[in-house]
């Protein structure tokens, strides 16, 4: 998959639209905006499989008269594909808009399908997708760091109790082991805690 920030001419855009006239409007807007690689799907059957085969960088979905089942099916796909998605619908309600946001749809446009709007909406979808992805990465990194600190603290306290070490000495032991084995301190801490629990199931780790 290309980076969504890549030049538009290099991006693979998938358009999902059962209406050939509306699909042509989107395709024309995309090509005028410099998107050269455009694939159109008009059959909703086996949609998830087709998306996996095409492996697009960006997905544009247009639904003239959406019903709840169709929207839910598309929202399930949007949760799975992890791509910028711009969705055009002719009508909607508050629940559908909230569901679209929760499903990760980057741009949900109601009654706004016009050729000249395709490019700015696609740009917005890419920008929102990248911002959301960046926030998710930062959140995962923060969670990982927190879990690592918890493991290290538990391992330090185990060493302090079992070896009579100070907190600084316990941490130094963990750090030395990590350097010797070329591993992260958190990995050494996890191994130590696991070994302690296996050797003595009753030990508080």
Q: Are 92 and 26 in a shared domain?
A: yes
| Amino acid 6: pLDDT | 53
Q: What pLDDT score does 92 carry?
A: 80
**Strand order across the 107-110 sheet:** 37-41, 12-17, 58-63, 85-89, 107-110
Tell whether 192 is covered by a domain: yes
Output the domain CATH number for residue 163.
1.10.10.10
Q: What tens digit of pLDDT does each residue of 28-54 get? A: 989 888 888 999 998 888 888 888 899
93-134: pLDDT as tens digits: 888 888 888 888 888 888 878 888 888 888 888 888 888 889
The predicted model gives 167-195 an average pLDDT of: 93
**Would you give the DSSP letter of residue 10?**
G
pLDDT at 7: 61
Would you state the pLDDT for residue 152? 95
CB 27 within 8 A of CB 46: no
Please state whether the predicted TM-score (pTM) of the whole model is above 0.75.
no
| 90 and 29, same domain (yes or no) | yes
CA dist 141 and 26 (Å) reads: 38
Cα 98 to Cα 92: distance, rounded to the nearest angstrom:
10
Overall number of domains in the chain: 2
Tell me the CATH number at 87. 3.40.50.2300
Q: What is the domain range of residue 98?
A: 8-113
72 found inside a domain: yes
């Amino acid at each position: 998959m290309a980076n969504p920030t890549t030049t538009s001419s290099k991006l693979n855009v998938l358009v999902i639209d059962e209406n050939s006239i509306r699909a042509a409007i989107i395709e024309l807007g995309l090509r005028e905006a410099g998107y050269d690689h455009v694939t159109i799907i008009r059959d909703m059957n086996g949609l998830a499989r087709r998306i996996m085969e095409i492996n697009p960088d960006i997905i544009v979905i247009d639904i003239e008269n959406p019903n709840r089942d169709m929207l839910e099916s598309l929202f399930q796909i949007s949760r799975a594909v992890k791509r910028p998605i711009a969705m055009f619908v002719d009508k909607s309600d508050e629940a559908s808009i909230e569901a679209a946001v929760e499903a990760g749809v980057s741009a949900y446009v109601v009654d706004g399908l016009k050729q000249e709007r395709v490019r700015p909406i696609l740009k917005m979808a890419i920008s929102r997708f990248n911002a959301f992805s960046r926030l998710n990465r930062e959140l995962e990194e923060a969670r990982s760091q927190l879990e690592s600190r918890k493991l290290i603290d538990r391992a330090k306290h185990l060493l302090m109790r079992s070896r009579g070490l100070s907190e600084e000495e316990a941490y130094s032991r963990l750090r030395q082991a990590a350097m010797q084995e070329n591993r992260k301190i958190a990995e050494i801490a996890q191994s130590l805690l696991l070994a302690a629990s296996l050797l003595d199931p009753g030990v508080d780790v």
